[in-house]
Amino acid sequence: MKKIISKLVIAGLACVAVFSSCSKKADEVTPNVTKPNVTVSFLGADYGVQKDFDVSATVSTTGDSAFINISVNGSTGQEMKRIYMTYQKDSDKEDKFTKFPIGTSIPAAGYSGTNFDGSNVEKFNYNNVTNTGTFNIPSGKSKDFKLTIPILLRTDATSKSDVFKVWIVKGGKSGDHKNPAKNLAYGVAFVKLNYTNEALISNYETVLGSSKNDTIGSLFSTSTGSNFKRSFAQDTLMGSGIDFVFNNFTSGTFTIGSFYKDASTTNSDVTVGFKQNPGGVDNIKRILRIAESTIAAWDGVVGEASLVSAVNGVSSFTSFVTYTSDISGKVFAFITADGKKGLIKVVSVDNANTIGCSATLQVKVQR
């Protein structure tokens, strides 16, 4: 049964330290350590199970705090189970949101949420399990709720950005942030607080592959930093936003790239695989350009300029690369169908000699 959420509002605010007092005045600001430029991008329309969302943001210009306001109005029978949150400091690797950007601990008791109409106050506990980076949504609020999450910001002169990602999902385990999209996400929002105008990068870690219990997807989106199962990408996303695939169609053979060489020709080595035989990828036609790079190039990336330079230093791009030996430690440069440049590092490969293997990948890509 198709589920509908009529509204998801996530707003980033920079407010005074007293959480109950916050100016609502919108203001265009020149970003600095006490007056960040706040933007919110809702990425769920093409990446979640729902299509109809409304997102807005308001900004105040003083103080050392931000407020992420979540408002969900759901339909009868709809169940939302968890909220996953991640945090990325500057261009560092994204991770679970377990401490405020200034380093202090998040209150274990969580924050008070209410029904959409403001009634029935209840706690959304954040640390039911220590440092999970997960809000468990109370059963009484699983269809509609409002929640405000206060964030203590950095105020040092070296601050560049604080980036938060908020996933509202149907299932999943507390603390399982590797691939939140697999838990049937209702939507995901990027909350970016920029203290400078410097161009930075997204920096993700994920697990891709065809695991034996079919819980790990093999397709990756650089916009959400999560992976998707092939059937979901084909039938529900209709190919939207998918940037590359990691595939091991035979024992000990690894392929990274796109399903298509061009708009009409498939990469047969990539399309053959679990549940394909081949086929089932006619909607996933986004073409990736990929080539092997170096660890030195990876280690040299500290922001967008160095990332673009590293990718520009690579020649002879193709639409996929294949190896018949363990590819742990290899680095690949890529250019997405939208022209974003990035690097992939294969951190490790599990069960490399089986068709059920998976790979832990870290991805640096233009934000």
Instruction: Report which listed range, 11-25, 93-107, 167-181, 284-298, is most confident.
Output: 284-298
Give dist(CA 39, CA 180) in Å, integer: 22
Q: Are 281 and 271 in contact (CB under 8 A)?
A: yes
Average pLDDT of 294-315? Answer: 96
Q: Report residue 235's pLDDT band, with 50, 70 and 90 as the boundaries.
A: confident
Query: What stretches of 158-237 show up as alpha helix (H) in DSSP?
Result: 230-235
Pairing type for strands 201-209 and 358-366 reads: antiparallel
Say yes or no to pLDDT of 194 above 50: yes
Average pLDDT of 86-109? Answer: 88
Instruction: Report which listed range, 52-56, 129-133, 195-199, 305-309, is most confident.
Output: 305-309
Q: Are 367 and 304 in contact (CB under 8 A)?
A: yes
- pLDDT score at 14: 33
Q: Are 260 and 266 in contact (CB under 8 A)?
A: yes
Give dist(CA 185, CA 85) in Å, integer: 13
Give dist(CA 217, CA 343) in Å, integer: 20
What is the torsional sign of CA 250, 253, 256, 262?
negative
Our CA dihedral for 313, 316, 318, 321, rounded to 10 degrees, sits at -80
- pLDDT score at 347: 95
- pLDDT score at 364: 98
Mean pLDDT (the chain, rounded) = 77
pTM, two decimal places: 0.84
Higher pLDDT, 195 or 130: 195
* pLDDT per residue as tens digits for the range 112-147: 888 877 788 888 887 655 678 888 888 777 777 888
Give dist(CA 254, CA 261) in Å, integer: 17
Say yes or no to pLDDT of 336 above 90: yes
Q: Report residue 358's pLDDT band, with 50, 70 and 90 as the boundaries.
A: confident
Higher pLDDT, 249 or 261: 261
Higher pLDDT, 82 or 336: 336
Query: Which of 2-6, 165-169, 182-186, 269-273 shows the lowest per-residue confidence on average (mean pLDDT)?
Result: 2-6
What proportion of the chain, given as a percentage, has pLDDT over 70?
Answer: 75
In the DSSP assignment, the letter for residue 354 is S
Say yes or no to pLDDT of 94 above 80: yes
Q: Which residues contact 285 (CB under 8 A, 6 or more apart)?
A: 239, 259, 260, 263
Q: Are 85 and 165 in contact (CB under 8 A)?
A: yes
Say yes or no to pLDDT of 24 above 50: no
- pLDDT score at 12: 37
Q: Which two tokens stand for residue 25?
A: 């005045």
Q: Are 65 and 104 in contact (CB under 8 A)?
A: no
What proportion of the chain, given as a percentage, has pLDDT over 90?
Answer: 27
Q: Are 363 and 225 in contact (CB under 8 A)?
A: yes
- SS3 assignment, position 52: coil
- pLDDT score at 22: 34
- pLDDT score at 25: 32
- In order, the DSSP letters of 58-117 are ----SSSEEEEEEEEEE-TT----EEEEEEEETTSPPEE--B-TTSPBPPTT-EEEE-TT
* pLDDT per residue as tens digits for the range 45-89: 556 555 444 444 444 445 677 888 887 776 655 677 888 889 999
* pLDDT per residue as tens digits for the range 149-172: 888 888 788 889 999 988 888 777
**CB-side neighbour CA atoms (13 Å) of 301:** 34
Residue 38 β-bridge partners? 193
Average pLDDT of 264-272? Answer: 81
Nearest to 312 by CA among 285, 339, 287, 338: 339
- pLDDT score at 274: 46
Q: Which residues contact 310 (CB under 8 A, 6 or more apart)?
A: 293, 297, 298, 300, 301, 333, 343
Q: Which two tokens stand for residue 34?
A: 């006490």
Average pLDDT of 325-336? Answer: 94
Query: Which of 2-16, 179-193, 284-298 shows the lowest per-residue confidence on average (mean pLDDT)?
Result: 2-16
Higher pLDDT, 135 or 308: 308
